[in-house]
Amino acid sequence: VKAHTVVIVGGGAAGISVAASLHRRDPGIDLAIIEPATRHHYQPGWTMVGGGVFRPEVTSKPMAEVMPQFVSWYQKAVTAVDQDNNQVVLDDGSAISYESLVLAPGLELNWGGIEGLEAALGNNGVTSNYREGMASYTWDMVQNLKQGRALFSQPPMPIKCAGAPQKAMYLSADYWLKHGVLGNLDVQFHNAGAVLFGVPAYVPALEAYIEKYGIDVNFQSTLVAVNGPAKTAVFRSTDGDGNSQDREVNFEMLHAVPPQRAPQFIRESALANEGGWLDLEDDTLRHKTFPNIFGLGDVSGTGNAKTAAAVRKQAPVVAENLIASLRNEPLRAAYLGYGSCPLTVENGKIVLAEFGYGGVLQPSFPKWINDGTKATRAAWYLKAKQLPTLYWHGMLKGHEWMAKPAVRSIKG
Ligand code: FAD
């Protein structure tokens, strides 16, 4: 059995960032990353590809290019965690042992959760910016659509980047408005949830755009089935008494977002909470039951917005606390639940939602630079021009820009 001081599962936004943050604090630390993929994706860029702002190439790099030189990379998938023996099991049957484990495998897009969706994707106007490589099809559809009905769906929470289903809709509607076709289109939003956005402070700004674009909003309306060739979608709505009703709607374009869950090897393990997500302490990001296991990113069961922006603040917290735990010192770094969702309400303006646990607003900038509750050009500039560079050359390299962990008060 191979052994490493720290084993990190996943080489996405979270896995690479935490490796870089650990190495910055202790350049001698022995790190391994287990990651099967050959490419690393900057998923926040997919919304911009779907809106014709970014070229698809800028959202992805070979994994070998982002994998730090100082880690041992196993290009395998983890199939199980054997937390009682401090080992992970890989898909070739081998095992790797650890002193400390970091779980960062992201989440699973459950395409099968919507009947017919996976088979329908990529044809007949059925698309999803959540699907690797498909955002450019969204953009094709947007440019070609001249009349008929365009549907945008949002599944039950939690999902990664909760604003992204709407972002696709606003950018599309903005294009249609500017090209004089919006009046010929019936644009509908079908949200499994009951509100436009979970944090009320941002809702008025979004409602103004719903009105501007004339979007028909349907709450508690969940996409349950798609028929590509027939161009029909079935939505299930549930009333206050729990009675459900199915409604079939025909469309020219459907932007669908699948329900999401933790990867199976977490969901069906002793590491999961009731919802199947990784059971971490909110502030330290250490596992609630197994003290040598930490986690971050989309797999986490903590109540923050599942975003790369959250990862940016989580990685230094995990790095600091993990090193403290290896040295038997108290854990001092705290994560306050920061997450951010840049809502692209039109090409050129963004409502930059930034908030922590309990929906407490955590703006990065003073109001005179950017008022997060309003659509601003400053926030668009940040997202379109600065964040990709910050991701590839800042976050993934362990430059902890505006990400200094809060300090926990330690009792006793
Ligand atoms: P990922 O980056 O998904 O990485 C997980 C990695 O784990 C993958 O490389 C995968 O191959 C690997 N893995 C999976 N299973 C295993 C296994 N069994 N063994 C080993 N490795 C495994 N965030 C923002 O901050 N702002 C935005 O505007 C934004 N917009 C978004 C728009 C869209 C359309 C999407 C899809 C996401 C968006 N996000 C946004 C969310 C952001 O991309 C994620 O929150 C972020 O990537 C989470 O990082 P992660 O490392 O947890 O997961």
pLDDT digits (tens, 9 = 90+) for 184-216: 999 999 999 999 999 999 999 999 999 999 999
Q: How large a percentage of the chain has pLDDT more than 90?
A: 96
Chosen CATH of 2-107+262-335 out of 3.50.50.60, 3.30.360.10, 2.40.50.140, 3.60.21.10: 3.50.50.60
Rounded to a whole number of angstroms, the CA Rg of the chain reads 21
What single letter denotes the amino acid at residue 2? Answer: K
Three-state SS for 381? helix
CA of 34 to the centre of ligand 1 (A): 15
Highest mean pLDDT among 238-247, 272-281, 399-408: 272-281
CATH architecture of 109-258: 3-Layer(bba) Sandwich (3.50)
User: Please, what is the average pLDDT of the chain?
Assistant: 97
Nearest-angstrom CA–CA distance, 201 and 302: 21
Which of 107, 307, 351, when mutated, tests ligand 1's pocket best, judged by the most ligand atoms within 8 Å of its CB? 307
Give 42-64 pLDDT, tens digit per residue: 999 999 999 999 999 999 999 99
Separation of first and last alpha carbons in the chain: 40
> Is the pLDDT reported for residue 412 higher than 60?
no
State what percent of residues in the chain have pLDDT above 70.
Answer: 100
Measured distance CA(159)–CA(196) in Å, rounded: 14
Residue 354 Cβ < 6 Å to ligand 1: no
pLDDT tens by residue, 216-261? 999 999 999 999 999 999 999 987 788 899 999 999 999 999 999 9
pLDDT in tens, 176-191: 999 999 999 999 999 9
- Nearest ligand 1 atom, CA 15: 51
Q: What are the boundaries of each domain within the chain? A: 2-107+262-335, 109-258
Q: How confident is the model at residue 411 (pLDDT cuts 50, 70, 90)?
A: low
Between the CA of 104 and the centroid of ligand 1 the distance, in Å, is: 9
CA distance 16 to 81: 20
pLDDT for the residue numbered 241: 85
Greatest alpha-carbon pair distance for the chain in Å reads 67
Residue 401: pLDDT above 90? no
Same fold, 2-107+262-335 and 109-258: yes
Mean pLDDT of the 262-277 span? 98
Q: Which of 328, 326, 314, 329 is nearest to 284 (CA)?
A: 314
- The closest residue, in CA terms, to atom 40 on ligand 1 is 44
* 155 Cβ inside 6 Å of ligand 1: no
Phi, psi of 13 (to 5 degrees): -55, -45
The rounded Å distance from CA 291 to ligand 1 centre is 25
pLDDT in tens, 151-185: 999 999 999 999 999 999 999 999 999 999 999 99
Closest residue to atom 12 of ligand 1, CA basis: 10
pLDDT of residue 6: 98
Residue 307 in contact with ligand 1 by CB distance below 6 A: yes
User: pTM of the prediction?
Assistant: 0.98
> CB of 9 closer than 6 A to ligand 1?
yes
* ipTM over the 0.95 cut-off: yes
Tokens linked to 25: 């604090």
DSSP bridge pairs for 100? 6
- Ligand 1 centre distance from Cα of residue 306 (Å): 9
